[in-house]
Structure 1
Amino acid sequence: MTRFNSKAARAQPTSRVTSTGRILRSYEGGRGRERDARSELFLLAVANFVSQQTFYESGADRDDRFARLVRRLAVEDPEWTAGLLGWLRGEGNLRTASIVGAAEYVKARLDTGATAGPASRQVVASVLQRPDEPGEFLAYWTAMYGRSVPKPVKRGIADAVRRLYSGRSLLKYDTASKGYRFGDILNLVHAAPDPDKPWQGELFRYALDRRHNPDTALPPASNRVLTAHRELMALPPAERRAVVTSPGGAERLAAAGITWEALAGWLQGPMDKAAWEAVIPSMGAMALVRNLRNFDQAGVSDEVAALVAARISDPAEVARSRQFPFRYLAAYQHAPSLRWSYPLEQALGHSLANVPALPGRTLVLVDRSGSMWAPLSDRSQLNRADAAAVFGTALALRAQHADLVEFGTSSRRLSYGKGESVLKILGRFGDLGGTDTVSAVRAHYRGQDRVLIVTDEQYAHSRYGDPTEQVPAKVPVYTWNLAGYRAGHGPSGSANRHTFGGLTDAAFRMVPLLEAARDADWPWAA
């Protein structure tokens, strides 16, 4: 008798976020599943804004848990941990978490004398991708561990300095508001100029002189950006506004590295229509998105607005900016003019390029319970509930046939039409109080081919078991965790039960892999 090799035989793929089998309690009192250390750190890292309060966990507790996990795995599994940190700063686009993680990686390895795996110097350099980040790293290290900076940290920062420091970066990031100026960092790490950048030696000397002798420091004549900037700064304030209104004003500002943040101070006056129109050509895509309201208030012309719209909705610009999808939702909610609505809709769509077009029938459940309404960070007006709605709606719109459901204490199915605007559909979501994930699954699972739950996994106790147990074992259940709490609402890693995490759409790459019976690796190893 055939027991295994039948037509129904099918491989059971695995994913990397895995449960240990140990039962915990969620913050809501439901039966939770413990995840192994790598899985717990991954989910926490991709949802962690560092020092930020969440609904159930203080910023300090969250940071302590993050640091403990990094220190443990830096010794037990340094290859994996180094891969996570590099990916986190790169594709994950989380600056602070990756910097903190790299510092803790170095500290753990120094304390234990560990030598196997990627060198601390390489890990430090890998997370420093913007010219202000060497200073951020040093500020964190000295605040936590004192002013004695070990050699691996100095060498990793020196590697980054050679790669990142330029005339433009000096103007943008070497400001008096920083505790560690470029000159301080150069003094501390003794970075030698890059041999392939013959101009960098003069730049380093100027950064040191600018730090210690600001009144007499002169930019190197070979650096056109710095000399052009000095010329503009030397203009009398009464003559400066004429620059922005002149035919070549925009080009002159760009050549001198005058950013939109610095322009108002240089003008010593308001950012009016002429000022914005002069600096807009040299602004980055996300700087444009952040300032749409300011453009409207200043009365920027329709011609210039059309150029802005083309930039922010360009697929290549969106990909290059590596911004979270909900950034475009925030801009949509705060930009008063309708002329930005369609470009922002297009940009949001481009930022969700990894959301798959799932075949068959899909049940998409979006958590709108009270715990999801905490802001993503202290500086953000966006919350996890809206982030979840963005991703859930995109999934539903791409799928061949999907039931889109919001849930909390109660649940309800949302209507939408194919090709409808994601941003328009978001207005139909509500605030549904407590968390009853189990009842939502039981009420809306009607034989769909798969179930996707976008949530923080903190469901309340249920006599029916965990949410994933409400679906037949042969049907895949994918949980997308947006918060990174310790306990998961169900098992993960095999047997058609899988958990992803993060605030970008990258996790959805795993769904087609798993449904093709292929194992899904960590994002940086896939």
Structure 2
Amino acid sequence: MARYNRKGAKQALRSVVRTTGRTVRTHEGGAGFERDARSELFLLAVANFVSQRTFYEDGADRDDRFAALVRGLAVSDPEWTAGLLGWLRGEGNMRTASVVGAAEYVKARLDAGASDGPSNRAVVGSVLRRPDEPGELLGYWTQTYGRAVPKPVKRGIADAVRHLYHGKALLKYDTASKGYRFGDVLNLVHAAPDPAKPWQGELFRYALDRRHHPDTAVPPAGSDVLRAHRELMALPVAERRSVLLAPDGAERLAAAGVTWEALAGWLQGPMDKAAWEAVIPSMGAMALIRNLRNFDEAGVSDEVAARVAARISDPAEVARSRQFPFRYLAAYQHAPSLRWAYPLETALGHSLANVPSLKGRSLILVDRSGSMWSPLSERSRLNRADAAAVFGAALALRAERADLVQFGTGSTDVMYRKGESVLKVLERFGDLGGTNTAEAVRRHYRGHDRVLIVTDEQAHYSRHGDPTGQVPARVPVYTWNLAGYRAGHAPSGSANRHAFGGLSDAAFRMVALLEAGRDADWPWM
């Protein structure tokens, strides 16, 4: 027999988001495909903004499903779950979901008496990467499980505190609005200073004094930033605006760790042109983007605006900020003046750096049905429909040849020209009502080399069944899920049928692996 051992025979590629073979119902009542627990958790985790409702699930139901999946897998598959949580906080850039997940991981393993796999302490430490996150984790634990905090949680937080707590962190994050101040965290976890940081012992003592005796707390003499901050705070209110106008005003604010959020309170007056121009040099890229309207309303100069534009569109800044592409889209949609349009468009392009250049002919379908129009979170002005369109348009523009289609109840082609900006193409998308994915695939597939569907997978119409069944089995179909609901719209994980998830471009790398003839593993493995 020479049926399999032939030159050019292709291996059966596998990807990580897999269905079990059992059918379930979508939220719309259509036919759905059950995913295994790891796949369900991964898709939910990369789209879960914690406590935020979606079109089909309220925040509490979504959080309960997330917690239950983490607890189950923490016991049955601790190494995989620990890897997911560390990646989620790092490259996945999902801050709250990873912190909640780490707490649930520890709780489940303590309840089960489990001792195999990565330690609880290490998992807690792996998700705490910003100075306010130790307090966030303690807040979640005590609200959910009471004030008795187990030793692994305390030790993991103590490990994180040693590399997260420093002078500027104290000034930025140790505010009266926090339930757990730095001093509270230190009291609870008894973190010892890092031996390699001789100044940290005094800093810890100051954080405790600041919490319990704020009127008499004295900054450590060895901390330049805390000393400079105290000097600025001691200035009479009437003299403070003169600092902004001095030649070294911006440098003094930066050296004292004065953030834009704190500056108005220090001035005890409005954030006018002088205030913004003094603090802009020390602001991070995303803080600049969030304040573009404020800059215009204050009338910052064209020279300063040009420096802001250069910062927010710099590829290194975009990479360092690790923001999702849709953040730049939201800023573009709400930018007050045209002088920000091109920098934001450029930044969006940099944030999509991992979009592959697909060879041959591609069919790219973007879900614009009603359920896609709910906001990504209660704090976001952007919806999944536009996030989907950004990714779909980017794929089409980079591909060798592509047909770009939007679908809902019906479907239409979206016209574009090579070299156009993603944002210009986005203007041609509309609102298309219900969800008839299978009909859209059946109508537009014309011998393409691959099909990519960007969707929440919540199809109602089932006249043609599995949407991917409209494509020959030899042709790969990639589903990119943006919502993380339980049921998939098609089988996935093998046989040229693959699903990915999330609002970053991490899934693009998996597409590239499969196109190169390699199995696609979890991003952290």
> What TM-score do you get using the length of structure 1 for normalisation?
0.99
Aligned AA (1:219): P
- Quick one: which amino acid aligns to residue 228 of structure 2? A
Q: Could you tell me which residue of structure 2 aligns to residue 51 of structure 1?
A: 51
Aligned to 2:12: 12
The superposition leaves residues 120-168 of structure 1 with CA deviations (integer Å, 9 ceiling, x where unpaired) of 0000000000000000000000000000000000000000100100000
Q: How does 1:378-393 map to 2 (within 5 A)?
A: 378-393=378-393
Match of 2:457 in 1: 457
1:72 maps to 2:72:
yes
Asked whether the equivalents of residues 459 and 489 of structure 2 are also in contact (C-alpha less than 8 Å), the reply is yes
Q: Which amino acid aligns with 1:128?
A: L
Q: Counterpart amino acid of 1:240?
A: R
Q: Report the count of equivalent residues.
A: 525
Amino acid at match of 2:268: Q
Q: How does 1:190-205 map to 2 (within 5 A)?
A: 190-205=190-205
8 Å CA contact retained: 2:411, 2:440: yes
For 1:518 and 1:436, the matched residues in 2 are separated by 32
Give the drift of 1:3. 1.9
1:5 to partner: Cα distance: 2.9
Q: Which residue of 2 aligns with 1:61?
A: 61
Equivalent in the alignment of 1:113: 113
Quick one: which amino acid aligns to residue 379 of structure 2?
Answer: R
Partner residue, 1:227: 227
Match of 2:210 in 1: 210
- Correspondence 1:12-411 to 2 at 5 A: 12-411=12-411
Shift of 1:8: 5.1
What whole-Å deviation, never above 9, does each CA across 1:254-307 have from its counterpart, x for those lacking one? 000000000111111111111111000000011111111111111111111111
- Once residues 112 and 171 of structure 1 are traced to their aligned partners in structure 2, the CA distance between those partners, rounded to angstroms, is 40
Aligned residue for 1:510?
510
Separation in 1, partners of 2:42, 2:324: 18
Instruction: Check the 8 A contact 2:435/2:461 in 1, yes or no.
Output: no
Query: Could you tell me the percent identity over the aligned residues?
Result: 81
| Equivalent position SS for 2:486 | coil
Cα distance between partner residues in 2 of 1:420 and 1:270:
41
AA of the residue aligned to 2:87: W
Find the aligned partners of 2:464 and 2:288 in 1 and give their Cα distance.
50
Instruction: Note the residue ranges of structure 1 that are not aligned, 5 or more in a row.
Output: none
Distance in 1 (CA, whole Å) between partners of 2:150 and 2:439 is 54
CA distance in 2, matches of 1:84, 1:453: 24
Q: Tell me what 1:470 maps to.
A: 470
1:93-133 Cα deviation digits (max 9, x unpaired): 11110000000000000000000000000000000000000
Task: Measure the CA separation in 1 of the matches of 2:416 and 2:461.
Answer: 32
1:4 Cα offset (Å)? 2.1
Alpha-carbon distance between aligned partners in 2 of 1:463 and 1:283, rounded to the nearest angstrom? 54
CA positional deviation for 1:513: 1.0
CA distance in 1: counterparts of 2:449 and 2:347, whole angstroms? 30
Distance in 1 between the 2:486 and 2:324 partners?
A: 23
Cα deviation, residue 6, structure 1: 3.5
Q: Is the 8 A contact 2:131 2:169 kept in 1?
A: yes
Q: Which amino acid aligns with 1:382?
A: L
In structure 1, the partner of 2:424 is 424
CA-to-aligned-CA distance 1:385-412 (integer Å, 9 cap, x gap): 1110110010001001111111111110
CA distance in 2, matches of 1:367, 1:293: 31
Q: Aligned partners of 1:78, 1:3: CA distance in 2, in Å?
A: 41
Task: Give me the CA root mean square deviation.
Answer: 0.8
Q: Deviations over 1:54-88 (max 9, x none)?
A: 00111111111100000000000000000000000
Using the alignment, how far apart are the partners of 1:240 and 1:8 within structure 2? 75
1:519 corresponds to which residue?
519
In 2, are the aligned partners of 1:12 and 1:517 still within 8 Å (CA)? no
Distance in 1, Cα, partners of 2:302 & 2:449: 47
Distance across 2 between alignment mates of 1:108 and 1:123? 13
2:150 and 2:277 map into 1 onto residues whose CA distance is 47
SS at match of 2:72: helix
In structure 2, C-alpha distance between the alignment counterparts of 1:319 and 1:175, rounded to whole Å? 29
1:214-257 C-alpha deviation (Å, 9 max, x unpaired) = 00001011101001000001111111011011111000000000
| Structure 2 CA distance for aligned equivalents of residues 461 and 26 of structure 1 | 11
Q: TM-score, normalised by structure 2?
A: 0.99
**Deviations 1:420-472, CA, capped at 9 Å, x for gaps:** 01111111111111101011111111111000000000011322211000000
